[in-house]
Structure 1
Amino acid sequence: MRTEKPRQSLAGLWNISFGFFGIQIGFALQNANMSRIFQTFGAKIDDLPWLWVAAPLTGLLVQPVIGHLSDRTWLGRLGRRRPYFLAGALLAAASLFAMPGASALLFAAVLLWVLDASLNVSMEPFRAFVGDMLRKDQHAAGYAMQTAFIGAGAVVGSIFPWALEHLGVSNAAPPGDIPDTVRFAFWFGGAALFLSVLWTVVTTREYDPAAMAAFDGPADAQDDAPTLATRSYAASLVWLAAGALVVWAVGQAGLEKEVYLLGALLIGYGLASAAAIGLARAGSPANMLSSIVGDFAGMPVLMKRLAVAQFFSWSALFIMWINTTPIVTQVFYAAADATDPRYQAGANWVDALFATYNGVAAVAALTLLPFLSARIGQARTHIVGLLCGAAGYASFFAMPDRHWLLLSEVGIGVAWASILAMPYAILASSLPQRKLGIYMGLFNVFVVVPQLLVATAMGSLMKAFFPGEPIWTMAFAAATLVLAAMAMLPVDRMMRRLR
């Protein structure tokens, strides 16, 4: 017999999501400052996508694995999600403390990989944690609270170097060195991340497996192995062929070498799916590979349709994170390179811009999104948010000076709030509880795959069509958010049919 979860108070909602405040401080420091750190160590604009590729690649590999494991973990009083919060927070905090001590470009790139992997270990179970702890009629409120903490954490992380400069901390540094404003901000971020995640670990207690089974009702007896065992290897061969084609095209078309990574990933998934089918046919249904591949192939239809919008949304976001610093420093500060004092001033203004869109997102998550979703539905609210973001990116071409960019960030902030809240609120009520972790992890594949695509392909596109003019990446970002809004139309129709 199925029972309903207790209703959480405002304090309960706060405690469940507070850890995301610190996690997002870490992400914000990474997003706003890594291009700056890479350029400080001599990286060129065309090199930035390749250097950033570690971040989405680790997310692609880590999130489904952590989702699968957290669905099957129970460590006594720590539960099943909180062990991953805590372990990831420890590693991420250590990476943030170490980052300012990087002495070379390669060392900084390795630390980015470790930092992003650790943040993903903490972040992925938080998505499922909201679904675990809340009843369905509180899912929207839970993800809105989570988004508010994401926005607030990102404001703190983004603006901290700028604030330190105004408090008298030096923002200048010798060539090849990181300014004290960035150094102190990373140390602060490491402490804030660990303490906020520890708050959630200490103040919450997960439902035990028996209680979760009662909340979810009778388990679905369907297993992934029989489905995989009956599949042919045709789809695996298609993935392998697509990867081989990309690798061949790199040499033939003279594309940037990082595009090889895209081909390698396609080939890798083809091999993984073939191995999973082989294991299922051999009667080994309990292995992690077969479970993940089976769940990926058997995603609910609504999730597949949302994934398309998610793909385009995060393509636009990653374009912004990589290119805003070179755009602002070059176009609005006329700084030739990272050795120009105007470059450091422009990079700090980017911190303020990122703080603005995250602040707008925090407010919009608790005010505008609930207001719109109650009146026009969650899918249409997401469409409105995405179009606001497209307008924000496009407006970069019309702004007369750097101060007007704050207005651009308002539209981007509304889109950011919607991207963080609406798809997860739509999904949480439609996914089986026993697979919430793995499905949330797989859904985040459509967060990281577009980032990998941008990281591997954007450098080639810009070099071919707009060499040395990074502002044109904002046109790509605006167009992809329009495509994301169009992809939400089938989701809206499906949700209306299901009512």
Structure 2
Amino acid sequence: MSEDQNKPKLSFWQIWNMSFGFLGIQFGFALQGGFMSRIFQTLGAEKDTIPMLWIAAPLTGLIVQPIVGYLSDRTWHPKFGRRRPFFLIGAILSTLALFFAPYSSALWIAAGSLWVLDASINISMEPFRALVADKLPDSQRSFGFVVQTLIIGIGTWIASNLPWFMTQIGIPNTAEPGVVPDSVKFAFAIGAVVLFSSILYTILTTEEYPPADLKAFNKVKEENKGFFAGFTEIFRNIANMPEVMLKLGIVQFFSWFAFFTMWSFATPAITEHVFQATDTSSIEYNNAADSVGNYLGTYGLVSMIFALVLAFITSKVKINRKLVHMFSLIAGGVGFILIYFISEVWMLHLCFALVGIAWASILSMPYAMLSSSVNPNQMGVYMGIFNMFIVIPQIVAAIGGINIMYKFLFGEEVIFTMLLAGTSLIIAGLSNLLITNRAATHDG
């Protein structure tokens, strides 16, 4: 009997507890994705320079994720486990970065805060992905990643609406030119508290399984000591990555290019095209920026609902992960494209609802497919390496990919970035047809 077959099935609440830390992680990502471009604009950034201000974050992820995955694969403590020490380290650093980011007094400080924040969240995030594969048999993998997505959807919806809510209860939404409004500062402070407490909850409520063969585990760890041994193994695993992982990488490239485009340009594009507001110190712009956050919250809310539907389905029947992912991404692509054509502001909810379907699938289906295709003893490092296919498209987008492509394909108006995001997401959906491995595409 395989190690995977020996794993007991877990209850919904056991899976919920081990995934609950993602609530805080997504608070960090939603506030970062929804409002860092607003902070950059407030501090004087021109629209076309915004992607470059994001570049340090994916560059760091490219390095940090495989290393953290490798180290967590080789960590075991009878009390603290394998993945949980990395949860705690990442939580402490992320909390500090999230709290101080909106107090940046210059663009370079804000860009540095984003860099520290993204790197710190990454320390926690991929071990959470690996924990699902560590704890669940293959028959529960889709369900486990969908529960994570449900929690991520809750976090996205609440966090994206925090500045708007702060404004509603009377916290100022405007400030002097070059100063971030208090509504954003309060939102980031609340996010910092939620991030730390939710990850701590998972640490305190979740036990980890020891390695199946502890003696062999310790022997491998001893044989691979040293700084260069780790890098050698990481590069060897990259060179020998499974075919399924490489094909998923193509899907991931176009998916994350699309979402990086949204995070970078949704605020400037929608405030200008839909609300006709461009003066970053004006009440019109700041109210519009709050509204953009509210609409971005819609994709989190819908991703939560879609994850609930998927959780129910995957708990009852086996699904074709490839087809679910393909149609979900195409739906999201249509949502992005419709932003350009809407005639009423409320229609943004419809657009981002379609984006939410794609987001729910992006956060679950690729990881379910990948976890069924790699060696369980190398789950952490492969989850980290898989992150390359998330950060590389963001780097390409940041160094000019977005600016070059939207102007070349569509025109000079910043709203055309949403057409680019939609096109990229549809290509990502169709790329799922490359994946033919049944073990990856179907539940075990």
Q: TM-score normalised by the shorter chain: which range applies?
A: over 0.9
Picking from 81, 84, 89, the partner of 1:82 is: 84
Q: Tell me the CA shift for residue 129 of structure 1.
A: 0.6
Match of 2:237 in 1: 295
Residue of structure 2 aligned with 1:9, choices 4, 8, 11:
11
Deviations 1:300-357 (A, max 9, x none): 1111111111111111111111110011110111112312321111110111111100
Q: Does 1:312 align with 2:314?
A: no
Q: CA deviation at 1:408?
A: 0.3
- Secondary structure, in 3 states, of the residue corresponding to 2:342? coil
Change in CA separation of 1:295 and 1:92 when aligned onto 2, cut-off 3 Å:
same
Which residue number in structure 2 is paired with residue 59 of structure 1? 61
Aligned ranges 1:7-406 → 2 under 5 Å: 7-209=9-211, 212-213=212-213, 287-368=229-310, 371=313, 374=317, 377-406=320-349
Contact 2:23 2:198 in 1 (8 A): yes
Structure 2: distance between partners of 1:76 and 1:298: 32
Distance (whole Å) between structure 2 residues aligned to residue 192 and residue 109 of structure 1 = 23
Cα distance change on mapping 1:496 and 1:132 into 2, 3 Å: closer
CA distance in 1, matches of 2:43, 2:259: 24
Residue pair 1:329, 1:342 contacting (<8 A) in 2 also: no
Q: Deviations over 1:149-196 (max 9, x none)?
A: 111111111111111111221111111111111000010011110000
Partners of 1:76 and 1:191 in 2: CA distance: 28
Letter in 2 for 1:487: S
Aligned partner of residue 441 in structure 1, secondary structure: helix
State the partner residue of 1:447.
390
Is the alpha carbon distance of 1:138 and 1:375 closer, same or farther for their aligned partners in structure 2, counting shifts above 3 Å?
closer
Render the CA deviation track for 1:428-480: whole Å, top value 9, x for unaligned. 12221110000011111101100111111223445667675111111211111
Amino acid paired to 1:117? A
Deviation at 1:138, TM superposition (A): 1.1
Larger radius of gyration: 1
Corresponding residue for residue 425 of structure 2: 481
- SS where residue 213 of structure 2 aligns? helix
Inter-partner Cα distance in structure 2 for 1:483 and 1:353: 24
Question: How far off is 1:97 after superposition?
Answer: 1.4
Q: Secondary structure at the match of 1:99?
A: helix
Q: Distance in 1 between matches of 2:148 and 2:304?
A: 9
Kept in 1, the 8 Å contact 2:173–2:283? The answer is: no
Counterpart contact for 2:175–2:281, Cα < 8 Å: no
Identify the residue that residue 261 of structure 1 maps to in structure 2: none
Q: 1:496 offset after TM fit, Å?
A: 8.8
TM-score (norm 2): 0.92
Whole-angstrom distance in 1 between the partners of 2:148 and 2:197: 17
Secondary structure at 1:287 match in 2: helix
> Which residue, 355, 359, 362 being the options, matches 1:412?
355
Decide whether aligned partners of structure 1 residues 384 and 467 sit closer, same or farther in structure 2, where only a CA change above 3 A counts.
Answer: closer
Query: Which digits, 9 at most, give the CA deviation of each residue in 1:228-287, with x for residues without a partner?
Result: xxxxxxxxxxxxxxxxxxxxxxxxxxxxxxxxxxxxxxxxxxxxxxxxxxxx9xxx9971
Q: Answer whether contact 1:302 1:494 (CA < 8 A) is retained.
A: no
Q: How much has 1:126 moved relative to structure 2? A: 0.4
Identity between Structure 1 and Structure 2 (%): 43
- Tell me by how many angstroms 1:213 deviates: 3.5
DSSP 3-state at the match of 1:103: coil
Tell me, yes or no, if the aligned pair for 1:380 and 1:492 is still in contact at 8 Å: no
In 1, distance between residues paired with 2:278 and 2:78?
56
With normalisation by structure 1, the TM-score equals 0.83
Structure 1 position 290, deviation (Å): 0.7
Indicate if the aligned counterparts of 1:56 and 1:451 stay in contact, CA closer than 8 A.
yes
Q: 1:375 to 1:433 in 2, by over 3 A?
A: closer
Structure 1 gaps, min length 5: 226-279
Cα separation, partners in 2 of 1:316 and 1:374, compared to 1, 3 Å: farther
| Residues 393, 474 of structure 1: 8 Å contact kept | yes
Q: CA RMSD in A?
A: 2.6
Unaligned runs of 5+ residues in structure 2 are: none
Q: CA deviation at 1:426?
A: 1.3
Which residue does the alignment assign to 2:372? 429
State the distance in 2 between where 1:497 and 1:189 align. Answer: 36
Q: Give, in whole Å, the separation in 1 of the partners of 2:14 and 2:147.
A: 11
Does the 8 Å CA contact 2:372/2:439 hold for their aligned counterparts?
no
CA distance in 2 between partners of 1:483 and 1:332 (Å):
26
* Local SS of the residue matching 2:415: helix
Q: Is the 8 A contact 1:81 1:126 kept in 2?
A: yes
Structure 1 residues 455 and 482, CA gap change in structure 2 (3 angstroms): same
Q: 2:231 is paired with a residue of what secondary structure?
A: helix
Aligned counterparts of 1:48 and 1:13: Cα–Cα separation in 2: 38
**C-alpha contact (below 8 Å) 2:322/2:441 kept by paired residues:** no
Tell me the distance in 1 between the aligned counterparts of 2:317 and 2:147: 16
* Whole-angstrom distance in 2 between the partners of 1:466 and 1:308: 23
1:124, CA displacement in angstroms?
1.2
Shift in CA distance, 67/354, structure 1 to aligned 2, threshold 3 Å = same
Q: Tell me the distance in 2 between the aligned counterparts of 1:143 and 1:186.
A: 27
State the one-letter code of the partner of 1:454: A
- Distance in 1 separating the partners of 2:440 and 2:112: 46
Q: Give the corresponding residue for 1:491.
A: 435
Q: Give the Å deviation of 1:76.
A: 3.5
C-alpha distance 341-433 of structure 1, shift in aligned 2 (>3 A): same
Q: Post-superposition shift, 1:70?
A: 0.5
How far apart, in 1, do the equivalents of 2:311 and 2:196 lie?
29
Separation of aligned partners in 2, 1:178 and 1:285: 42
Distance 1:411 1:497, change over 3 A: closer
State the shift of 1:100 in Å: 2.4
1:375/1:84 Cα in 2 relative to 1: closer, same or farther (>3 Å)?
Answer: closer
Mean Cα displacement is larger for which, 456-465 or 198-207? 456-465
- Decide whether aligned partners of structure 1 residues 309 and 462 sit closer, same or farther in structure 2, where only a CA change above 3 A counts: closer
Are 2:405 and 2:420, in contact at CA under 8 Å, matched by a contact in 1? no
Contact kept in structure 1, 2:244 and 2:440, CA below 8 Å: no
